[in-house]
Amino acid sequence: MTVTRRGFQLGLLASGALLPALADAFDGDPVHADPATDEILRRVDPELRAGALMILSRPLPSPLTPAAVRTMRQKAPAAAPPLPPPAAAVERRIVPGANGAPPVPVTVIGARPGGPPCPAVLHIHGGGMILGRVADTIVASQRLAAALDCVVVEVDYRLSPETPFPGPVEDCYSALAWLYDNAAALGVDRTRIAIMGESAGGGLAAMLAIAARDRRKIPVCYQVLIYPMLDDRTGSTRRVPPFIGRVGWNEAGNRFGWSSFLGRPAGAARVPYGAVPARVEDLAGLPPAFIGVGAIDLFVDEDIAYAARLVRAGVPTQLHVTPAAYHGFDFIAPQSRVATEFAAAWKSALRAAFTTRF
Q: How many CB atoms lie within 10 A of CB 199?
A: 34
Shortest CA distance to 189 belongs to which of 157, 149, 134, 216? 149
Cα separation of 331 and 9, whole Å?
A: 9
CB 262 within 8 A of CB 191: no
CA–CA separation, 268 and 286 (whole Å)? 26
- The catalytic site residues sit at 199, 297, 327
With CA atoms as reference, report the closest residue to 231 among 165, 159, 306, 294.
306
